[in-house]
Amino acid sequence: MEILGLVITPMMFSCIKGLLVTVAVLFALSFKFCDNPVLKCMPRRTRPLIGNLLDLPTSLTTLIPTMRMWVEYFPGICYGYVLWFHYVLVSTAEYVEPVMNSKKFLNKGLDYDSLRPWFGEGLLTGSGEHWHKHRKLLTPTFHFSILDQFLPIFQQHSQALVRTLQERVQRSSTVNVWPLVGDTTLDAICHTAMGVELGAREDAYRRAVIEMGNIVQQKSIRPWLRIPFVFRMLGKEQHQKDTLAILHGFSRSVIAKRRQELLEEGHLGDSGFCIEDMPVTKRRLAFLDLLIMTAQDGAVMSDEDIREEVDTFMFEGHDTTTSCINWALYNIARSPDVQRKIERELDEVFAGDDRAPSREDIGNLKYLECAIKESMRLFPPVTLFSRRTYETAQIREYEIPPGIDILIFPYMIHRDPNHWPEPDRYDPDRFLPEAMKGRHPYSYVPFSAGLRNCIGQRFAMLEVKIMVAAILRKFWVETNEKYEDLVFEMSLTIQKHGPLNIKFVPKTRKAEMIRSG
């Protein structure tokens, strides 16, 4: 095609069409939402047509400072939009409670579309009747009796991490701990979720998990990457397909192999199988085993349904626990008084015995749990998540029109001075029973809350407590990383930009230093 002497290729013509359609949609959505009388009276600072496009974070390290600035400027609730993406940002317990408690906000926001190629309609991304059905089916898999079977697995991998640290400190006492913890939690989640242990041959899978997380996060700060033809033109679509082929291929191969093994062992074929009725046996069942047995040969869940839930659990049980463990170690390392209290508690519970922790032992580590919870207050693993309503819904005094995303920002909900005095101070005593009385139930939401709270939060806390306890039984931890100097990087979870350096002093050496000093 030739226009005014210019040769227009099919690719250029498609781009022009796409651009025209995009501009038309922008005008339409701008008119639809910006003139809404409720949104017009909501706190906001937008520009015509482009909204808050110029306020977008420029990198993964500027996302949290940018969001924090907005929340401090418009505390509680505000409205904004970027291109076609219109949102309401809520950042206090009072405004987030009606969102998390209402069935009108059960659907996940547009941000989760970037995860659907990976997780399909798994629990994290699913909606409607499909989500309700799977939530009901999967809830029993996180029963205490099932979680107890994972104790030896967590113990095995926590000891492997301790041995790695012991080897590292022989060369240098200061260690960049993040990648070591990340490898350990990925090994643990593979073991518990799929019943397999990752070896060197699965390095491609490890890399693919990290790479897919990067792709998803890039889409969150660069909305134009969500436009299919732009994503394709920039060569990212093929890269995503290649990454997903590794992730899905690994999951599907494990599912097929495990199904065959369960069949040969005689565990399949019971059409009346119900997880709640399953006796606790000596044989440990992985999350995948329970799903296959529940699926009833596809009558309840297809193999692809199982794959979606396993992949979802792999992500939610890996990235989030990695973040929790690392930040807990960091906060404890910079708080000697807190660490001494944890040390005394560990001595009381284990009495110098090197035995593996029992369920009772883990339950008795109450102050350690306070320290971990306070760390998750300061550094919630998922610092931003969203809901979308497809019908008019109410958030306190505001009536929200359909088609708007509600962004929930736990990072700042947890820093509301009305509920958390001196919000940037690390103080585990905030989570002692007497301190928690009367506190707003939605002022602390590291695992979300309400109808779509995290189904695996007990699993996560169990793993984090075992891992952190295992390290602190062997090491005294220190750090020179100052809180005020931290630069955060938002991948799928909150991470530190650059290495997280922690000094590990073996307990035997610490005792010698005390005696000699």
Question: What is residue 196's three-state secondary structure?
Answer: coil
Residue 191: pLDDT over 70: yes
Which H/E stretch holds residue 117?
helix 116-119
Residue 132: pLDDT over 80: yes
Residue 54: pLDDT over 90: no
For residue 149, name the pLDDT band (cuts at 50, 70, 90).
confident
Residue 367: pLDDT over 80: yes
* Average of per-residue pLDDT values in the chain: 84
pLDDT at position 431:
97
Per-residue model confidence as pLDDT tens digits over 393-449: 999 999 998 888 999 999 999 999 999 999 999 999 999 999 999 999 999 999 988
Residue 2: pLDDT over 50: no
Percent of the chain with pLDDT over 90: 40
- Establish if 16 belongs to a structural domain: no
Alpha-carbon distance of 181 to 166, in angstroms, equals 14
Stronger pLDDT, 445 or 221, i.e. the higher one: 445
Alpha-carbon distance of 65 to 140, in angstroms, equals 39
Pairing assessment for the beta strands 385-388 and 405-408 based on DSSP bridges:
antiparallel
Percent of the chain with pLDDT over 70: 86
Question: What CATH number does residue 222 fall under?
Answer: 1.10.630.10
Of the listed ranges 24-33, 81-90, 239-248, 307-316, the one predicted with least confidence: 24-33
Question: What is residue 495's three-state secondary structure?
Answer: strand
pLDDT at position 56:
76
Find the mean pLDDT for residues 192-215: 79
Question: What is the residue whose two structure tokens read 């593996």?
Answer: 356
Q: Phi and psi (nearest 5°) for 306?
A: -65, -45
pLDDT at position 30:
60
- Establish if 254 belongs to a structural domain: yes
Residue 499: pLDDT over 80: yes
Number of other CB atoms surrounding residue 132 within 10 Å:
13
- Establish if 474 belongs to a structural domain: yes
pLDDT at position 16:
65
- Establish if 489 belongs to a structural domain: yes
Residues 6 or more apart in contact with residue 234 via CB below 8 angstroms: 225
Per-residue model confidence as pLDDT tens digits over 237-271: 999 999 999 999 988 988 888 888 888 777 666 55
pLDDT at position 117:
92
Structure tokens that stand for 24 in this block: 């038309």
Number of domains in the chain: 1
Q: How far is CA 155 from CA 191, 201, 290, 305, 467, in A?
A: 12, 23, 21, 30, 8
* CA 61 to chain centroid: 17
Stronger pLDDT, 66 or 299, i.e. the higher one: 66
Find the mean pLDDT for residues 220-231: 81
- Establish if 121 belongs to a structural domain: yes
For residue 5, name the pLDDT band (cuts at 50, 70, 90).
very low
Question: What is residue 496's three-state secondary structure?
Answer: strand
Residue 219: pLDDT over 90: no
Per-residue model confidence as pLDDT tens digits over 453-487: 888 888 899 999 999 999 999 999 999 999 999 99
- Establish if 241 belongs to a structural domain: yes
Find the mean pLDDT for residues 25-31: 59
- Establish if 18 belongs to a structural domain: no
Structural domain range at position 300: 36-516
Of the listed ranges 42-46, 129-133, 192-196, 264-268, the one predicted with least confidence: 264-268
Buried-exposed string 52-78: b where 16+ CB fall within 10 A, e elsewhere: beeeebeebbbbbebbbebbeebbbbb
Per-residue model confidence as pLDDT tens digits over 266-312: 766 655 555 555 544 444 567 888 888 877 666 678 889 989 998 88
pLDDT at position 297:
64
According to DSSP, residue 418 is labeled: T
Asked whether 372 and 320 are in contact (CB, 8 A), the reply is no
Number of other CB atoms surrounding residue 467 within 10 Å:
26
Alpha-carbon distance of 158 to 298, in angstroms, equals 36
Amino acid type, 216: V
In terms of residues, how long is the chain? 517
Alpha-carbon distance of 286 to 288, in angstroms, equals 5
For residue 89, name the pLDDT band (cuts at 50, 70, 90).
very high
Question: What is the residue whose two structure tokens read 């969150």?
Answer: 220
Stronger pLDDT, 210 or 38, i.e. the higher one: 210
Find the mean pLDDT for residues 105-120: 88
- Establish if 11 belongs to a structural domain: no
Tell me which range, 53-67, 379-393, 419-433, is most confidently predicted by mean pLDDT.
419-433
According to DSSP, residue 6 is labeled: E
pLDDT at position 4:
45
pLDDT at position 417:
95
